[in-house]
Amino acid sequence: MKHLLIVLLALFSISCFSQIKVIHFDSGKLQEKRDLYVSLPASYEKNPTKRYPLLVLLDGDYLLNPFLAPLNYGAHWDNLPEVITVGISQDKNNQREQDCGLDQVTGMPDGKSVNFFDFISLELIPAIQHDYRTTNFKIIAGHDLTAAFSNFFLYKENPLFNAYIGMSPELPVNMEDDLSKILSSTKSPLFYYLSTADGDDKKMQERIKDLDSKIQATPNPNLNYKFENFKDASHYSLVLNSIPSALYQIFSVALPISVLEYETKIVTLKEGYVDYLKNKYDIIENSFGIKNPIRITDFKAIEAAIITNKDYNELDALAILADKSYPKSMLGDYELAIMFEKKGDNPRAVRYYMSGFNKEEIADLTKDMMFAKAEELKKTFAKKPKIKGKVGQDVAKQETVEEAPATETPAADTPPTEEKKQ
């Protein structure tokens, strides 16, 4: 009954999202048609050249919506990158148990589960990559039975997925030993999230904790690993706790510069602030295949660190990066204007404030602000005109010249001097 309710809610929600497609995939490996729920990012149609990481959900009937909520929320605030999400339906005619069925002795896929494994690796992934603009970064997620099954993709020499989200996995025989060895020896960057809860079956919970202990006993710099044990959570409410935590773990490097990152990693640098920013976005592109322009907030964070540490020459490099990222905007000129202003060269600062005035506004940088800054700085170096009547030597000389007698006699019809003044 519980699964039926979840499926009905999922299907109702799916019908409410125009960006979600239900595809009846004809699988040669499974010898049947399998429903897929494909959720495209909101920007997919607007940006025809942009590519997105791929998230594959086992138990797609009831995991799709719990994943879409934090993904959409994070994308709205630019905290999480947009991804293409594909949920695999497994809720009809015991598909779930057949898809993930294992040999009781070896604990390995057997029979139809081998076909399901091949369906994902040889049919589903190639088809999605062909039909949609995906990057090479792929995530797989599952819950209990399907969470354990997703681990078998790690048993391959070149794992199909880059990141794994395992929520309360029902570990088959020997998996905690096999998996910990694989994760401790991986040579490629890998993300692995594991969770359990008080409401899990006690034997299941003990084995998950044992797996965690073995993973942590042999740390690997190539493994980005996180384990969570949720108190007062059931086997099912654990899912809603795990999903956002796992997503933010995987995409942590792609997040905007936070206050913590600024205070612990950036402002403490002695030099190389702009290099830090470049490296951050190089890692995002190399890890996830995401090529996005540098956020304005990240520019401002680096600018603040440079000013705080009075390394004003770095603002020149920041201006070059700004012109490369936003060539039509006033951002680059603004950074140069700030640099010269901080160095006390106000005439050159004014020049760049006025140069930026002629370019496009960006974020909180406006034409009014650039003009006002220029006018304010002009007051600090403009020549002051001499004022008649001011007491001083120059005025005295001027008055002496003005009082010198005329060399020519005024014409007869010239009015008296007093009348001219009037």
Which band of pLDDT confidence, cut at 50, 70 and 90, is reported for residue 405? very low
Cα–Cα distance measured from residue 25 to residue 124, given in angstroms and rounded to the nearest whole number? 9
- The pLDDT of residue 13 is 43
Q: What is the mean pLDDT of residues 206-220?
A: 96
Q: What is the mean pLDDT of residues 242-249?
A: 98
For residue 392, pLDDT over 80 is answered with no
Which band of pLDDT confidence, cut at 50, 70 and 90, is reported for residue 383? low
- The pLDDT of residue 111 is 87
Cα–Cα distance measured from residue 163 to residue 168, given in angstroms and rounded to the nearest whole number? 16
Q: What is the mean pLDDT of residues 190-197?
A: 98
Would you call 117 helix, strand, or coil by DSSP? Answer: helix
pTM flag (> 0.85): no
Q: Which domains does the chain have, with CATH numbers?
A: 2-254 (3.40.50.1820), 259-378 (1.25.40.10)
Exposed/middle/buried for residue 371 (C-beta within 10 Å: 0-12, 13-18, 19+):
middle
Q: How many CB atoms lie within 10 A of CB 239?
A: 22
Which band of pLDDT confidence, cut at 50, 70 and 90, is reported for residue 104? confident
105 compared with 71, residue with greater pLDDT: 71
Mean pLDDT (the chain) is 88
pLDDT over 90 for what percent of the chain? 83
B/e letters for 103-141, b = 16+ CB within 10 Å, e = fewer, are eeeebbbeebbebbbbbbeebbbeebeeeeebbebbbbb
Cα–Cα distance measured from residue 210 to residue 221, given in angstroms and rounded to the nearest whole number? 21
322 compared with 396, residue with greater pLDDT: 322
Q: What is the mean pLDDT of residues 293-321?
A: 97
- The pLDDT of residue 19 is 75
User: How would DSSP label each residue in 326-395?
Assistant: STTBSHHHHHHHHHHHHTT-HHHHHHHHHHHHTSB-BTTB-HHHHHHHHHHHHTTTPPPPP-TT--SHHH
For residue 292, pLDDT over 80 is answered with yes
Query: Which uninterrupted H or E stretch holds 159?
Result: none
Q: What is the mean pLDDT of residues 202-221?
A: 96
What would the pLDDT profile of 53-97 be if each residue is shown by its tens digit?
Answer: 999 999 999 999 999 999 999 999 999 999 999 999 998 878 999
Q: Which of 26-30, 197-201, 411-415 shows the lowest mean pLDDT across its residues?
A: 411-415
Would you call 225 helix, strand, or coil by DSSP? Answer: strand
CA nearest 236: which of 59, 38, 56?
A: 59
For residue 11, pLDDT over 70 is answered with no
- The pLDDT of residue 406 is 43
Exposed/middle/buried for residue 398 (C-beta within 10 Å: 0-12, 13-18, 19+):
middle
- The pLDDT of residue 9 is 42
